[in-house]
Amino acid sequence: HVFMGTPKVSIIVPVYNAGSYFSKLLDSLTGQTLKEIEIILVLDCPTDGSDRVAEEYAARDGRIVLVRNRENLHVGFSRNEGLKIARGEYIGFCDHDDWVEPEMFEKMYHQGKETGAEVVVADYWIQRGNEKWTRSIPHELPDTEFIHRQFSELVNYRPAQHNQSLFNNNGYIWNGLFQRDFLNRYHIIFPDNRVTTFEDRVFLLQVYAHAKQVGHVPQALYTHIWHGSNTGASYSFKSLAHITVYLKWLYQFLKSEGRLNTETGNYTDAVTLLTYTSFRHELRHLPVGKAVKQLKLIRQDVTLQAAIRKAFGRLWHYPPTKVVFLFLVFNPFCKRVRL
């Protein structure tokens, strides 16, 4: 295939060590029923031969564009490299070890064009070994209500749930399609995963802070494969060092958008949940003494301490283990700021 015109959709795929999953993804992308696409493979210095697989597919399909990072940028900045050259009316994203239904981008593109939506969302599958679950998103709401509730859920960070229809299932970007002009207008890009985490959520918070219309495809079109090599399973993804950078970014973002007052409860919940689960993550990966030392990242930060003070007014809202954790990380001598 060779497509010389302006693509309807650009699909950006950061590629590191994708292993045996990569060919299935590329087969599912090159086999899309929407032919007017470009597939941007951002080669993030892979060491397992994934670059050779990408080159073989690119030799057979002219719609594949190869971008080679000079250094390992990780997934967020690699996606930004793809965004720099993307030409499509809409932008989609895939992980290198997932796969998509043949009609995914045709259905989502047509929904976007029909509604003029800046973002289109669909349901998706989660697969782990032989088990497979669907995750759905509420689709039958006016745009203003959907956007408002989705933004608040992204701030709060409640975990996604299998086989249910919930806003907290929409915390990833690979089940979405995004209008390129909209992303450029608001300079929406990804953060650096080498210093922070939750790059999908950072991107989506910016999207839903500015979007006015959302298109919906109430069908599971994307399959996310969960295995031990996922980025989300790595130590750094949930480390306190990266979590605290994200939470401080979120505070500044809400403040700059004038949403800190309305989202204080959700931000407080996010600080409590994420620092607590991150500390448990540290205990699983580090010696106890070293893990406990990491708590200084919470005890010495004024914005996190402000959220923890707020949390003390919501103790009934949390289980006993989180209450104990809040007392453990509370620093009464830390400078006070208001949320």
**Cα 315 → chain centroid:** 29
> What element of type H or E holds 10?
strand 9-15
Name the nearest CA neighbour of 131 among 220, 37, 225. 225
- Distance between CA 223 and CA 99 in Å, rounded? 6
Task: Give Cβ neighbours of residue 144 (< 8 Å, ≥ 6 apart).
Answer: none
Task: Give pLDDT, residue 295.
Answer: 95
Give the residue carrying structure tokens 């070994």: 129
Task: Give pLDDT, residue 231.
Answer: 59
Residue pair 153/167 in contact (Cβ under 8 Å)? The answer is yes
| Mean pLDDT per 10-residue interval, the chain, length 339 residues | 80 95 97 97 96 97 96 96 97 97 98 97 96 96 97 95 96 98 98 95 98 98 84 78 97 97 96 96 93 95 95 91 95 87
Task: Evaluate if pTM is beyond 0.85.
Answer: yes
- Distance between CA 60 and CA 51 in Å, rounded? 15
Report the half-sphere exposure of 245 (CA within 13 A, side-chain side): 16
How many residues comprise the chain?
Answer: 339
Beta bridge partners of residue 179, listed in sequence order:
90
- Distance between CA 279 and CA 292 in Å, rounded? 8
Task: Give pLDDT, residue 5.
Answer: 79
Token pair recorded at residue 327? 């007392």
Name the nearest CA neighbour of 338 among 276, 270, 260. 260
Alpha-helix residue ranges (DSSP H) falling in the chain: 22-30, 50-60, 74-85, 104-115, 143-156, 180-185, 199-210, 240-256, 264-285, 288-293, 296-299, 302-312, 320-329
Task: Give pLDDT, residue 229.
Answer: 61
Task: Give pLDDT, residue 199.
Answer: 96
Task: Give pLDDT, residue 337.
Answer: 84
Structure letter (DSSP) for residue 95: -
Neighbouring CB atoms inside 10 A of 122's CB total: 26
Q: What is the pLDDT of residues 169-181, one digit of tens each?
A: 999 999 999 999 9
Beta strands at 131-135 and 119-128: parallel, antiparallel or unpaired: antiparallel
